[in-house]
Structure 1
Amino acid sequence: MDQPQRGPADIEVTNRLTVLANATADAKAMMDRGEHETDKGAQTTVSPEEVDEIIGTWPEAAKMGVQQMVLQYGQPNEATPTKLLWFDRTPWKRIQVTSDQVVHKFPTPHADFLTQYIDYEVPPDKFEELGRYDGSCLIDRTMGEAAARCDSEAANFLTLNLMHEIVTGTRTVDDARAFYSETLSAYCLGESAPHCEGFLFELPTGGSGDPDHPVPPGPKAKAITQQVEEFLSASGRT
């Protein structure tokens, strides 16, 4: 007999409060240290032997993606059977290659498996335009990150360079999509394609995150805030 599915409604109220209280304490500790985010992944390294074993049965394109990233940026910092990650590899904040792929039909059908991240603040009023531009241009407002997911670093440079041009108003979405197709084709034909070869704008170095702001609490929010404070006081985490 199948086990009953457990979800948020099944979690005991005490456990819900415990998670919220500890997350609140963690955020306070980070803010006290002047941190917006943590980055522990860069402290470890995956050996060449481990990488070879992990990617042995991966799809060929993803396997080649890993080999290219190792050639350019050295050994990854973290690994699972389906993912390899690099942290703080200039110019990238983070790189992820996965054996799991997703079909992407822009500009022509291909599989996405390489995601590369930078610090970048996108104004909220530009989200809609970027959504129309490229579904594999990924924006995280809270982290203050932009990422591109495709099948090559050249395509990711192109995605993010055009993202910046849309954000700064120097290129429209329709123009960016047409330019993307022709420029990536030129690159693959061995022609000059600066948009595919590196960043054409200065990358920010932190400070792009947007933690948002609290809303005025209603009666239930005031009640849970009081319970969180009491829990933290009792546990010595205030």
Structure 2
Amino acid sequence: MKPADRLKTVAIGAASAAKTAGQQAGEQPTTTVVDMQTVERIAANWPMMSQAAVKEIVGKYGAPNEAMESRLIWYNNGPWKRTICYRDEVPHHFPNPHSDVVECFIDYRVPPEKFSELAEFDGSVIVERTKGEVSARCDMESANFLAINLMYKIVTGEMNAEKAREVYTETAAAYVVSRSAPLAEGFQFELLQEQTNDPDETTIAGAMLRQTAGKVKDMVS
């Protein structure tokens, strides 16, 4: 990037940050609905697991709001902020071998000190500190409910990662054989309507002064 463009980009970034201050971060909902012929055409050659996920989500929430060759996206579908069905599978062996193809998002602020424990619990629970989002990615929506519910229990200190993995495994097995599995059937905590994004803090002012002074010295030396 050219020097002038670097400064211009910083200025644009500062203006953008000021404009969006106080707003919830992340993708904003698309209200249009994709026609089902387009959905069927796109998903026709997807892997079997991805097609099954599309069938489940369409059956429950209707046609998506956005569609592209690699993914279908729903906004504000039921309790979720956003749901994405992917063409491309991500192999995952916990608690059983499967492919992650459907990702569900909520607005939720996770304290940074809990990030490592959540990663230890399940690598397909994804925390976005800046956006203030948490998502779970698995092969079906019920598994995402289960993962998010256990995420909440870890963050609130009710469980550690090891215990959450045990509960996940037992609950997933119970759900598969059609036994009672409330953790996999919906949220077991209240989703608060509050701002969850964390823009962090500005630290560059002093560094800019020091580097500018250094630049002047470079020019006159």
What TM-score results when the alignment is normalised by the length of structure 2? 0.90
User: Would you say 1:171 and 2:159 are equivalent positions?
Assistant: yes
2:217 corresponding residue in structure 1: none
Which one-letter code corresponds to 1:55 in the other structure?
Answer: A
Task: Provide the alpha-carbon RMSD of the alignment.
Answer: 1.7
- 2:219 equivalent in structure 1: none
- Correspondence 1:184 to 2:151: no
TM-score (norm 1): 0.83
Aligned counterpart for 2:41 among listed residues 50, 53, 58: 53
Q: Relative to structure 1, is the Cα distance of residues 192 and 39 closer, same or farther in structure 2, using a 3 angstrom cutoff?
A: same
Looking at structure 1, the residues matched to 161 and 89 of structure 2 have their Cα atoms a distance apart, in angstroms, of 26
In the alignment, the residues of structure 2 paired with residue 152 and residue 222 of structure 1 have an alpha-carbon distance, to the nearest angstrom, of: 52
1:196-211 correspondence to structure 2 within 5 Å = 196-211=184-199
CA contact (8 A) 1:139 1:146 kept: yes
Pair 1:19 & 2:9 matched? yes
Q: Give the conservation status (yes or no) of the 8 Å contact 2:23–2:195.
A: no
Q: What percentage of aligned pairs have identical amino acids? A: 41
Matched, 1:108 2:100: no
Paired with 1:44 and 1:84, the residues of 2 have a C-alpha distance of 13
Task: Report whether the alignment pairs 1:135 with 2:123.
Answer: yes
Please point out which of 18, 23, 44 is paired with 1:28. 18
Change (3 A) 1:114 1:38: closer
* Misfit runs of 4+, over 4 Å: 221-224
**1:156 aligned onto 2:122:** no
Match of 1:92 in 2: 80
Letter aligned with residue 210 of structure 1: D
C-alpha spacing 1:52/1:121, structure 2 compared with 1 (3 Å): same
TM-superposed CA distance for 1:74, in Å, is 1.7
Contact kept, 8 Å, 2:26 with 2:131, in 1: the verdict is no
C-alpha distance in 2 between matches for 1:80 and 1:12: 34
Segments of structure 1 that go 5 or more residues without pairing to the other structure are: 1-10, 225-238
Unaligned 5+ segments in structure 2 are: 213-221
